[in-house]
Chains A and B, each alone.
Chain A
C-alpha cells in the first residue's frame, strides 16, 4: 500500500483530513462573513460586492469546485468517523456521565455537522441556485427569504448550530495538527470562542436586520 493511502486511511490520517478541510471551510466562512457584512452599508454595497465577486471569471468555477470538494470530503470523512467511532465504543455504560472533558459542542459534533449540512443545502437552494437578474438582485432574494418567518427560524437555528460546531472545531483542528502547549492552550480556546462568536453574531445581525429594516433595504 502506498504511504499516502496508508497515512490517510489510518485513524490519525482521517483526523488530519477533518482538520484540514475544517480549517479551509472555516477560512471560507470568515471571508463569507466579511463579505456579507457589506450589507450593513446598504443594498448597493452588498450588490456591488456580489457583482465584483462574480466578475472574477474563470476563478469563480475553480473556487466553487474546490469548495465543493473540500466540503464533501469533510462531510464524508465525518460520517465515516462517526460510524467507526460508534462501533468502537463497544457498548454503552449503564451510567452515562461526563468526567469533565466533554462539552456540549464536542459531544454533538456529528449531529450539528449533519444539521449544518442540511442547512447549507437549503441556503444554496435559496441564494445560489436561483436566477439573479438586474431587476431581481441578490439583496432582493436575501430580503425576501429572510422575511419568511419559517426561513428566519431556519437561519437563526443554522447559525447557532454553526457557532456550536466551530466553538469545538477550531480548537480541535489545532490539537489534531499537534498544536497544543500549556502556554497557549487557554488563549487558543478563547480565540476559538471569539472567532465562532464574531461570525455567529454577524450572521445573526444580518438575519435580524433583514427582518427589522426591510423597507430600508428594499
Chain B
C-alpha cells in the first residue's frame, strides 16, 4: 500500500484539571500520513500547538504496541476507535478519509475523573485489584514445575481472561459506566485455576464491593463492553463473575 497524506479536522476535548470545566477545541491538521498511528497524529498536533506557543494536549500512552493498557480515548463515539480488538495506539490514520472530522473525548465514567484533557484517573481499577485480584503466595523455595496439573482448555480460558490489559474501555463504553468486563476477566483468570480457587469466594465479594465503592454503575447486559475490548474479552467472563459472587455470598464461612 502506498503511503499518502490526508487533511483532517480534529475536535478534541480540553480540560485544565479535574475541577475545571472542559470544552472541545477544533484544529485543522494538514498532510497527516495515513501510515501514522492515531497517537502519532496527536503528536503532530502537539508539535504544531507547541510551535504556536499553545498548551499541548495531555494524553496517556506508554508502549504504543497495544499491550500496556495505558492509552485510550473515545474516537467518534467508540472507545479505542472504530477498529475491533485494537487499542488506540494501534489504530492507524489509514482508517480515516481526507476531510474527516474526528471527535476525540476522554474515557468517561463516574469512576474515572478527568485529570487533564484526555487523561483520566483509572486508579479505581487498581484499588479493585488490591481488594482481591491476586493469589497469596508463601515465600520460600519454588515448588517443582507441573506439580499442579491444569487441563489445556482451562489454561486457555484463564489465559484469554488474563489478556485484559485494564485499559478501562469497558467502563468507558458501558451505558452504565461500569468496568464489569474488567472485573469479570480479573475474577475469571484466577477462579479458573487451582491456585486461584483457594481465595475465590473472598476475592469475588471484595472486588465487587470495591467496584461499588468507586462509584461505578450496575451491569445492564448491554454487551457494549465486549465490542470495544481491545483484547476480545467476552461477557462469558461476566457470567462467571455473576456465578462466583452468588456462590460466594451464600456459602462463604464468615
Main secondary structure, interface of B, reads mixed
Q: Are A106 and B222 in contact (CB under 8 A)?
A: yes
CB nearest neighbor in A for B120: A90
In the complex, chain A residues whose CB is within 8 Å of the CB of B238: 175, 180
Q: Are A87 and B110 in contact (CB under 8 A)?
A: yes
B56 at interface by CB-CB < 8 Å: no
Q: Are B176 and A180 in contact (CB under 8 A)?
A: no
- Shortest Cβ gap from B131 to chain A (Å): 13
Q: Are B242 and A93 in contact (CB under 8 A)?
A: no
Q: Are B208 and A10 in contact (CB under 8 A)?
A: yes
B119 at interface by CB-CB < 8 Å: no
A57 at interface by CB-CB < 8 Å: no
B225 at interface by CB-CB < 8 Å: yes
- Shortest Cβ gap from A168 to chain B (Å): 8
Q: How large is the interface on B (under 10, 10 to 19, 20 to 34, 35 or more residues)?
A: 35 or more
Q: Are B242 and A11 in contact (CB under 8 A)?
A: no
**Among A81, A90, A97, A171, which residue has its beta carbon within 8 angstroms of that of B108?**
A90
In the complex, chain A residues whose CB is within 8 Å of the CB of B78: 97, 99
Count the A residues whose beta carbon is within 8 Å of the partner chain — how many? 43
- Shortest Cβ gap from A108 to chain B (Å): 11
A11 to B76, CA, bound (A): 30
Contact count A vs B, C-beta below 8 Å: 145
A168 to B221, CA, bound (A): 9
A96 to B224, CA, bound (A): 12
In the complex, chain B residues whose CB is within 8 Å of the CB of A100: 223-224, 227
Q: Are A176 and B221 in contact (CB under 8 A)?
A: yes
A141 to B160, CA, bound (A): 58
- Shortest Cβ gap from A143 to chain B (Å): 40
A107 to B223, CA, bound (A): 11
A88 touching B220 in the complex, CB below 8 Å, given contacts A99-B227, A180-B236: no
Given contacts A89-B217, A107-B222, 19 further A-B contacts (CB under 8 A): A11-B211, A11-B216, A16-B246, A85-B175, A85-B220, A88-B111, A88-B176, A89-B110, A89-B177, A90-B111, A91-B108, A93-B74, A93-B108, A94-B105, A95-B105, A100-B223, A176-B242, A181-B236, A182-B236
Give residues in A with beta carbon < 8 Å to B: 3, 6-7, 10-16, 81, 84-85, 87-102, 106-107, 109, 168, 171-172, 175-182
18 inter-chain pairs at a CB distance below 8 angstroms, sorted by A residue, are A3-B249, A3-B252, A10-B208, A12-B218, A15-B218, A16-B246, A88-B217, A88-B218, A89-B108, A89-B176, A90-B109, A93-B77, A97-B76, A97-B77, A102-B175, A107-B175, A109-B220, A175-B238
The 7 closest A-B pairs by CB, nearest first: A101-B223, A88-B217, A178-B243, A97-B77, A95-B77, A180-B239, A85-B176
